[in-house]
Amino acid sequence: MAKTKRKTKYVCQECGYESAKWLGKCPGCHNWNTLVEEIEASPSGNRHTLGVGGVKSSRKPESITAIESQKEPRITTSMKEFNRVLGGGVVPGSLVLIGGDPGIGKSTLLLQISSQLADKELPVLYISGEESTRQTKLRADRLGIKSNLLYVLSETNLLDIANQVEQIKPSFVVIDSIQTIFREEVSSAPGSVSQVRECTSELMKIAKSNSIPIFIVGHVTKEGAIAGPRMLEHMVDAVLYFEGERHHTYRILRSVKNRFGSTHEMGIFEMKEEGLREVMNPSEIFLEERSQGAAGSTVVASMEGTRPVLVEIQALISPSSFGNPRRMATGIDSNRVPLLMAVLEKRVGLMLQNQDAYIKVAGGVKLDEPAIDLAIAVSIASSFRDQATQPEDIFIGEVGLTGEIRRVSRIEQRVQEAAKLGFKRVICPSKNLEGWTVPKSIQVVGVNTVQDALEVGLAR
C-alpha cells in the first residue's frame, strides 16, 4: 500500500493565519516573516487521545428549564486582591490565562497562590516547563513556602502531565508556561500556533471534565499582547495581565476577560524580597507623592471594575518651537488629548493650537473610561493658565464635543472613596446629583459645561 503524502501548510506564529504557500507578509496581522511551515495533523480518528480529556461524551441536550440552578462554590485564597480580580475566588473547572512581561513576577504570584491553597489542605500541582524542580525549590525557599501538599513537576509532554493529574487528582494546577508544553501528535515545535492551540484545548477538557481549575502562564510579545493565536484568549474562561514598571516595586493584576466576574478589575501588589504583598488601598499609593499647589495637576476618581481608585493626572502645556505642536500622552488614549484641546479652544477660548501638550497618569496606571475627560481638560487649562487647582478637589465627568459635562456611572462609590481619603469637594455632572445621599464630610458641586468647571475649579 502506497504511503500517503504528508501535507504541509504555512501558519503565522503571531495570529494563526494559515496559507497553502509561503508568504513574506501575513495577510492576517500584516507582520513580516512570521509564516512557518508545519505538517498538517492527521485525521482525528487516527490520533491518540489523552486518558483524561479524550473521552467521548454521551450527554444529550436538556431543556434549560429542566436544568437545576446551582451556585458554583469558589476557592478563596489568602490574597483578597487576587480574589477580587477573579470575581470572588477561583472557580472550579475554570481555565485562566495570565500574561505579563518576563521577570514581572508571574511565577512568584502563582507559587504564592499555590502555597496558600496547599495550606488549606488542597493538593496543588505546579508544572514548570522552564525550570527544574530544584530551581522552583530555590524560589519556594526564598518565599518561605513549606507545604507538603504542593507538588512540583518539571515536564513539557502533555500526555505525561495528563497522567500525573489523573494520579494526584489535585484541586489546583499551574502550567508555567503554555509555550513550553507540546503534544506528540502535533509535528510542529513547542510554542508554535498549532502546539499552543492543541495543548490549550486539551487542558480545557481536563479542567472541565474533572472540575480542576488550571492556570496557564502565557508569554507576551514586544507589543504587550499574549503570544500565540488570538483564539487562545477566546478559549479560556479568564485572561489576566500582570503589569508593572521594572523600576518600581508595584505590580498591577488586571482582568481583561472574565466569564465569572467583572472585567477591567484591578488588584495592586508590591514586590518585596519575601514575595508579593497585596496593597489594600491603592489610592493612597497613587497620591502619596503628589505635589501641592502645582499647576496642571488634578485628581480623578476612576472606576477599575467594581473599585473606585483616585489617580493624579498631570499636564504640561508649553509653547511649541515647531510648526506641528506635539501631543503626547502616557496612561490614557493619545487620541483623547487633541479632542479635548479642540473643545477647550472652541468652547472656552483657550489658544492651544501653538502649544505642545504632555499628559501623564501618575503611578503607571492606564485609564480608559470617559469619566476622566473633565480631569484631563481641567489639568490642561490649569497648566496653560499657570493656575493651580485646589489640592482637595476631585474632578469627574465625561466631556462632549459641545462642551457639556455628561453623566457618569457609580458616582456614589467615587464620592465615598474621595471622602474616605480626606478630599473636601467633588466637581461632577449636575445630572449625577439626583437619587443618592451625599456624605456629610464632602461637598459635591454640579456643573453643566467645561466653562462652569473651570470657573469653579480654577477660581482664586
Q: Provide the annotated binding site for ATP.
A: 100-107
Residue 236 and residue 8: Cα distance in Å, rounded? 28
Residue pair 188/140 in contact by the 8 Å Cβ criterion: no
Residue pair 106/112 in contact by the 8 Å Cβ criterion: no
Residue 18 and residue 15: Cα distance in Å, rounded? 9
Residue 257 and residue 264: Cα distance in Å, rounded? 8
C-alpha triplet 453, 391, 288: angle, nearest 5°: 130
Q: Which of 208, 207, 144 is nearest to 173 (CA)?
A: 207
Amino acid in the structure at residue 313: I
Q: Which of 332, 357, 352, 355 is nearest to 342 (CA)?
A: 352
C-alpha triplet 156, 161, 165: angle, nearest 5°: 155
The cell for 328 is 503626547
C-alpha triplet 239, 306, 434: angle, nearest 5°: 145
Distance set, CA 331 to CA 99, 294, 361, 371 (Å):
19, 20, 5, 14
Instruction: Specify the 3-state DSSP secondary structure of 300.
Output: strand
Residue pair 178/217 in contact by the 8 Å Cβ criterion: yes
Strand partners, 255: 240
Sequential DSSP letters for 205-266: HHHHHHT--EEEEE-B-TTSSBSS-THHHHHSSEEEEEE--TTSSEEEEEEEEETTS-TT-E
The total number of residues shown for the chain amounts to 460
Q: Which of 387, 399, 400 is nearest to 427 (CA)?
A: 399
What are the binding residues? 100-107
Residue 162 and residue 376: Cα distance in Å, rounded? 52
